[in-house]
Amino acid sequence: MKKSAKICLILFVAVVLAAAATLVFLFPPVVETGYEEKVDALSFMENTRETAVPQTEIYNLISDHFNSALPEGKTEKKAIVIGYDGCRADTFTLLDSEHKSAVKTLLADGGNAVFSYCGGVNMPEKNTQDTSTAPGWCSMLTGKWAETHGVYKNYQPKEIEPKTLLISLIEDGKIDSSAFYVSWAGHFSKPKATYINELNYIEENNINSVFLRAENDDGTKANVLADINKADCSDFIFLTLEYTDHNGHATGFSLDNPNYTNGFYSADETGLEFIEAIKSRKTYENEDWLILITTDHGGIRRNHGGPSVQERTTFIVSNKEIAQ
Ligand SMILES: [Zn+2]
């Protein structure tokens, strides 16, 4: 190489390095700080991240509810799972705001909140299934991890077995009807959707379960409220709201992002509308309701699926005590 060419190369490298350094100085990469401190300071949680319950506990809570005897004065059992998709646990630091809140309402009604985890195993071990939508909700609905239900990631259809509570509670004679309200197409509205086989099974066997997809959260909200407002509403209602997940993917899963925190407020206000509709039922006094709020996974930057604490920490809030 000629001497002049060498000098040119050195100058070029120097300019590139200087430009890179300037960019990092002007636009530092977003580094998450303080997540653990914020979450660990939540005084109303009944456990810690270290003693978090598996998200499959949702299955047990619902099964136990329908298997236990009716309390005195009650004639019918009902349950609802209000899912906030992609809702990080640190959103609970927003509960002291003026916003109407389903979570605050359940706690004020004598309920409990616990940390849970997704991904198949708690930290510090590496997750064994994606911290994503399909594996998360499927683990709650079947009470099993992916090694049993086979849903390690999105668009990996579950076989009929193990059946979700939406079907098994009906087949076991515990309830008469169930309903599954969503807007995400990956649940049962595409050829490789998670519950596409289960949807076929329901139709072939005349199971009294409704799987209904709306265009968006407004549609899901209308579908859920229409069900709750029926005199003979579904005995078990399972629904997911996409406000937090949608805004997280669009602009970032972070409390520093007002678009994300607004997603949480929208979900938590909508959840409260469902609870108020339940309490307004004419037959509410005779009904024994289990009301659960949970999430399938958290998120970091604009995504989820991985092993970070922000993605793997979830929560369960119940209107009843959650035994530890
Ligand atoms: Zn999700």
pLDDT tens readout for residues 114-148: 999 999 999 999 999 999 999 999 999 999 999 99
pLDDT of residue 323: 79
Q: Which residues contact 212 (CB under 8 A, 6 or more apart)?
A: 179, 180, 181, 182, 223
86 CA distance to ligand 1 middle (Å): 5
Ligand 1 centre distance from Cα of residue 46 (Å): 24
| 149, 83 Cβ separation under 8 angstroms | no
Does residue 18 carry a pLDDT above 90?
A: no
The more confident residue out of 13 and 237 is: 237
Distance, CA of 303 to chain centre: 14
Whether residue 198 is predicted with pLDDT greater than 60 in this model: the reply is: yes
CA of 77 to the centre of ligand 1 (A): 28
pLDDT band for position 10 (50/70/90)?
confident
| Tens of pLDDT, residues 45-71 | 999 999 999 999 999 999 999 999 999
Distance CA 126, CA 115 (A): 18
Q: How far is the CA of 134 from the centre of ligand 1 (A)?
A: 7
Report the separation in Å between the CA atom of 296 and the middle of ligand 1, taken as the mean of its atom positions.
5
Distance in Å, CA 250 to ligand 1 centroid? 13
User: Does the pLDDT of residue 29 top 60, yes or no?
Assistant: no
User: In the chain, what percentage of residues exceed pLDDT 90?
Assistant: 88
Residue 202 has pLDDT above 80, yes or no: yes
Q: What's the confidence (pLDDT) of residue 253?
A: 98
CA–centroid distance, 73 to ligand 1, in Å, is 38
For residue 194, report the distance from its CA to the centre of ligand 1, in Å. Answer: 13
What is residue 11's predicted lDDT score, i.e. its pLDDT? 74
